[in-house]
Structures are given as structure tokens and as C-alpha cells.
């Protein structure tokens, strides 16, 4: 795995030209294209966006990237700058894609949840039964709820870790995989909508409360409403995880495990990634086939990113 060697690093034609290193030119270009789409597509589709809810994220993204580039040129804190720019890119992708995703509502194709649930039944998996069984261990169930909600902070921690260790190529592959997998997942979901079994299977209220179930009946009903009717306005109040198949939480968990390998944090990443599986199935309101879809999506995209952005020989 390639590292940033030190404060005076230059490779080939000075990798600090224009202030960008590694795959940052590609990632900045993708962010610019995403920003253009986020500001134009909702307007073209006559969607109402409450931009004051999302602009702070855009401004924070810009500030972090600016701070990172300043640290790179003025302070020569290269590892800090790579990490800071990486966090800015991650936040920018997340904020802008959220706007685009919700601009796609309502969806016009029929949901495929009955088919997905039937596939799971072949393998003997039933979401509500799994959640009820988990509630026999309420403390564990509540811990899994915390873990499920911590998926994005975990990814941010890995971004900072890779940047601080100077793993430039690994960091940029991770960011590229995160963006591309989300775009592909949303495209699949847009063509073949699914909201997960929580919208169709009932879990007793006391069971849901005992483990702080994230995607309980009300969340499933909200997802069905968004798919069928669409939100009247796009604001932070209606932002929830909407992509059931393939499971993007599965992709995020695999990113944590895969991109911490060969670092001191790998044992922690492996434990958290393994624990995320029951959290995704229960609190994420997912079918087993959703998880398998996320696994396939990550594997193909990570392979492609490794070929596109190989480690540089220094």
C-alpha cells in the first residue's frame, strides 16, 4: 500500500501542481458534475428544495477542501490536507446526492418487495421473525441500533485514518467506490423500487421499543408514501435511507473492513463490519437478498476502482 513519504513529496511532474494529488482531479470533477445536477435536476422536475437545509453541508464541504488545500501549500501538512480534503469530498457527495435522490420521487415503477420477500422465504429468512428473536436480547438489540446509525461516522473515521497514514490511493479508491456504488444503487432502486420488509411485516410495538428499532412500522409507511406520492418539499425533515435493494449500508460496512486492512484499525473495522450485518437486517429493515446485492455491488466496484487507481510506485 502506497504512502505519502514526507513533507517534500513530489512524483513525476510534481503531484502538487494545481494543489491536487492522486485522484483528486477526478474526484473534484465528479463533485462539480454532481453539484450541477443537484442544482438543476430538481428545478427541471419542478421539485421544491429547501436549500437552507442543505447549503450548510455544501459550505462545510467547500470550507474543508479549502482548508485542506491551504494546509498543503502553506503549512506543508500533506497528510492532514489529504484527510481534510477527503472529508470535504465525502460530505459534498453525501449532501448533493441526498438532494438528487429525493428529487426522483415519486417513483413510477411498481415496487419489487413481494418478489424480494419471496426470495428470502426460500432461504428461510423472515424479517419480523428475526427482529422478534433479536428482542430476546434487548441490550444487544439497542447496541446494534447505535451501530446502524453510526455507519456514516465510521466511514468518516476511515477517511481521516487513511489520510493521516498517507494512504492516498486507498483513500481515493474508497471515495470513488462510495460515490459510484451509491449512484448505481440509486439507479437500480429507481428502476426497480423497493422499501424493505418493514413496510409489509408487523413487529409488535413493545418489541420495536425494546431494541429501539430504527425502521419500525412508521418508517416503512413513510417509505411507501415517498415512493407513491413523493415529498411535497425536499428538506431535512424527510431525509431517511430510501434504497432497500441493494443495501447501501452493506456497502458502507464492507468499505470500513476493506479499506482498513493493512492498518492498525483493521481488527476494529472487522469487528464493526461483522456486527453491522445483523444491524442491517434488523434495524435497516432489509431482506437478506438486499445484503447480497450490496455485497455484489461493492465487490465489482472495488475491483474496478483498484484497476483504475492502482498504487503508485514511489
The three three-digit cell numbers of residue 176, written as one number: 470513488
25 located within any domain: no
CA separation, residue 86 to residues 132, 189, 202 (Å)? 40, 27, 41
By the 8 A CB rule, do 101 and 183 touch? no
Residue with cell 489520510: 163
CA distance linking residue 141 with residue 154, whole number of Å: 19
Predicted pLDDT of residue 11: 37
CA 101/CA 49 separation, integer angstroms: 12
Q: Is 89 a domain residue?
A: no
On the 0-12 / 13-18 / 19+ scale of CB atoms within 10 A, 200 is middle
Residues 6+ positions from 228 with CB-CB distance below 8 Å: 106, 107
Give how many domains the chain has, as a whole number.
Answer: 1
Distance CA 126, CA 124 (A): 7
Asked if residue 103 belongs to a domain, the reply is no
* pLDDT, position 217: 66
Query: Residue 153 domain-assigned?
Result: yes
pLDDT score for 12: 37
Q: Domain residues for 252?
A: 108-308
Between the alpha carbon of residue 120 and those of residues 115, 125, 278, the distances in Å are 9, 5, 15
CA-based nearest residue to 254, from 237, 240, 241, 269? 269
Assigned domain for 16 exists: no
Residue 35 lies in a domain: no
Residue 211 lies in a domain: yes
What is the pTM for the complete model shown?
Answer: 0.85
Q: Enter the C-alpha cell of residue 120.
A: 428470502
Residues of the chain with pLDDT under 50: 1-18
Q: What is the pLDDT of residue 10?
A: 39
Which pLDDT score, from 0 to 100, does residue 18 have?
46
Amino acid at each position: 500500500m502506497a504512502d505519502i513519504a514526507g513533507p517534500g513529496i513530489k512524483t513525476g511532474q510534481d503531484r502538487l501542481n494545481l494543489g491536487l494529488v492522486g485522484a483528486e482531479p477526478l474526484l473534484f470533477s465528479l463533485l462539480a458534475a454532481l453539484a450541477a445536477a443537484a442544482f438543476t435536476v430538481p428545478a427541471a422536475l419542478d421539485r421544491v428544495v429547501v436549500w437552507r437545509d442543505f447549503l450548510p453541508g455544501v459550505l462545510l464541504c467547500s470550507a474543508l477542501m479549502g482548508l485542506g488545500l491551504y494546509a498543503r501549500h502553506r503549512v506543508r501538512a500533506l497528510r492532514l490536507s489529504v484527510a481534510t480534503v477527503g472529508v470535504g469530498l465525502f460530505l459534498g457527495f453525501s449532501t448533493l446526492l441526498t438532494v438528487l435522490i429525493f428529487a426522483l420521487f415519486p417513483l413510477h415503477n411498481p415496487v419489487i418487495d413481494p418478489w424480494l420477500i419471496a426470495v428470502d422465504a426460500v432461504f428461510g429468512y423472515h424479517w419480523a421473525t428475526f427482529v422478534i428473536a433479536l428482542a430476546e436480547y434487548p441490550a444487544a438489540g439497542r447496541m446494534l441500533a447505535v451501530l446502524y446509525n453510526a455507519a456514516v461516522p465510521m466511514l468518516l473515521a476511515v477517511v481521516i485514518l487513511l489520510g493521516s497514514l498517507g494512504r492516498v490511493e486507498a483513500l481515493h479508491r474508497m471515495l470513488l467506490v462510495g460515490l459510484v456504488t451509491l449512484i448505481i444503487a440509486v439507479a437500480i432502486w429507481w428502476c426497480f423500487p423497493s422499501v424493505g420488509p418493514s413496510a409489509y411485516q408487523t413487529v409488535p410495538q413493545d418489541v420495536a421499543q425494546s431494541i429501539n428499532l430504527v425502521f419500525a412500522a412508521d418508517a416503512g409507511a413513510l417509505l411507501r408514501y415517498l415512493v407513491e406520492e413523493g415529498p411535497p418539499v425536499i428538506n431535512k425533515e424527510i431525509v431517511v435511507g430510501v434504497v432497500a435493494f441493494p443495501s447501501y449500508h452493506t456497502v458502507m460496512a464492507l468499505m470500513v473492513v476493506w479499506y482498513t486492512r493493512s492498518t492498525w484499525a483493521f481488527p476494529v473495522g472487522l469487528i464493526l463490519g461483522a456486527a453491522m450485518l445483523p444491524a442491517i437486517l434488523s434495524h435497516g429493515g432489509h431482506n437478506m437478498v438486499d445484503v447480497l446485492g450490496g455485497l455484489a455491488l461493492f465487490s465489482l466496484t472495488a475491483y474496478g476502482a483498484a484497476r483504475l487507481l492502482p498504487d503508485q510506485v514511489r
